Amino acid sequence: MKDILIIGAGGVGSVVAHKCAMLGDTFGKITLASRTKSKCDAIAESVKSRVGKEIATAAIDADDVAATVALLREVKPFLLINVALPYQDLSLMDACLEAGVHYLDTANYEPPNEAKFEYHWQWAYQEKFANTGLCALLGSGFDPGTTNVFTAYVLKHHFDEIHYLDIVDVNGGDHGKAFATNFNPEINIREVTAPCRHWQKDKFVETPAMSRHQPFTCPEEVGTFEIYRMYHEELESLTKHIPTLRKAQFWMSFSQNYLKHLEVLQNVGMTSITPIEYNGQSIVPLQFLKAVLPDPGDLGKSTQGRTCIGCIVRGVKDGQDKAIYIYNICNHEDCFEEVGSQAISYTTGVPAMIGAKMLVEGHWLKPGVWNMEQNDPDPFMDDLNKHGLPWEIVELPVGETGFED
């Protein structure tokens, strides 16, 4: 058993705390910390009532490296699981280096004042972590995270080379709200409104945000949804580590209701991240919008339906063209019954727990900074089936995947 520190008490942090608490043979003492300790205490109460395990709580400003180092030295965890904001990745990596603690996150670094999320800031820590014998595992959520492992798994077992990759994220759930985001509104809206980039012929090609879309029919009667092409961070690492990729795209479903509200909010300036002066105070419109929108952590109470997230992969095996679809379907109501969360938080929190398990058990523990696809996918894939995110794999007719070369 290894002690862990979880930083972040949102919907994902709650799932991670619950799922880690269920594995008493893997994780020892669990400490949950965030800026608002009362949120941690509420999660701890839920963990105690659902799982029967006591977890410790603490207050921490994750932007304050010195304070985080002090907390790490007090708690002495084997691993820090970062499910705070992406802006805080580098501060938490610095703290782990100083305190001698392994590190894991679910999303790559993003500067607070620019909607630009890239891995190069964190990849620059490779030598620092390697020299100190510490491991940093990046992007251990679902997308990024599980989709990276899906891709590595089919490459290992079903292809000699992968040429085309389409990652499709569909949320077929309905939360019953006029407008809400399924995870942190600030991060979600920055992500959706950023220019799209997809990989084609050895380079990234930029197009306007949400300018390309098409219908997609999910398996197992989840339904047919309109999916929109957008940039997502796993494209950056996958195209680096799988150099045979000729084209790679990320797609996400959005309802017309969501897009209508988003367009209005953009038109009136509420999605801006540029500070403005209001009544003598400097405020960021998007941060104010986050404060008035429904809390994603509360959506589990009302959300019904299923998610369907997976990868459509095309390439060659033994000289023959081949196409594979590997996916997970997750039920919102089942997630709420188990851990009190909707499926979006669940599908991110469970892979974070499994990634932590990979490090604690030594399967993926190695000095340096690593993306998910750089590790052996098999033990992670086994644990997805054991811990709430079972996956399916089907072979598709070549040329009939619904995506262009």
- For each of the domains in the chain, give its residue range(s) and CATH number, in order of start: 2-138 (3.40.50.720), 146-339+391-396 (3.30.360.10)
pLDDT score for 193: 82
- Phi first, then psi: give them for residue 56, nearest 5 degrees: -85, 155
Give the C-alpha separation, 297 to 301, whole Å: 9
pLDDT score for 302: 73
SS (H, E, C) the chain: CEEEEEECCCHHHHHHHHHHHCCCCCEEEEEEEECCHHHHHHHHHHHHHHHCCCCEEEECCCCCHHHHHHHHHHHCCCEEEECCCHHHHHHHHHHHHHHCCEEEECCCCCCCCCCCCCCHHHHCCHHHHHHHCCEEEECCECCCEHHHHHHHHHHHHHCCEEEEEEEEEEECCECCCCCCCCCCHHHHHHHHHCCEEEEECCCEEEECCCCCEEEEEECCCCEEEEEEEECCCHHHHHHHHCCCCCEEEEEEECCHHHHHHHHHHHHCCCCCCCCEEECCEEECHHHHHHHHCCCHHHHHHCCECEEEEEEEEEEEECCEEEEEEEEEEEEHHHHHHHHCCCHHHHHHHHHHHHHHHHHHCCCCCCCEEEEHHHCCHHHHHHHHHHCCCCEEEEEECCCCCCCCC
Q: Which residues pair with 307 in a beta bridge?
A: 171, 330
Burial of 149: CB neighbours in 10 Å, binned 0-12, 13-18, 19+:
buried
The CA-based angle 322-324-327, given to 5 degrees, is: 175
Pairing label, strands 161-171, 306-317? antiparallel
Pairing label, strands 79-82, 102-105? parallel
- Each of the 405 residues of the chain gets a pLDDT tens digit; together they read 999 999 999 999 999 999 999 999 999 999 999 999 999 999 999 999 999 999 999 999 999 999 999 999 999 999 999 999 999 999 999 999 999 999 999 999 988 877 678 999 999 999 999 999 999 999 999 999 999 999 999 999 999 999 999 999 999 978 777 787 766 777 778 778 889 999 999 999 999 988 999 999 999 999 999 999 999 999 999 999 999 999 999 999 988 888 888 888 888 888 888 899 998 999 988 889 888 888 776 766 778 899 999 999 999 999 999 999 999 999 999 999 999 999 999 999 999 999 999 999 999 999 999 999 999 999 999 999 999 999 999 999 998 999 988
Q: Which tokens sit at 255? A: 């309802």
pLDDT score for 182: 64
pLDDT score for 183: 64
Q: Which tokens sit at 220? A: 């197992």
19, 190 Cβ separation under 8 angstroms: no
pTM of the model as a whole? 0.93
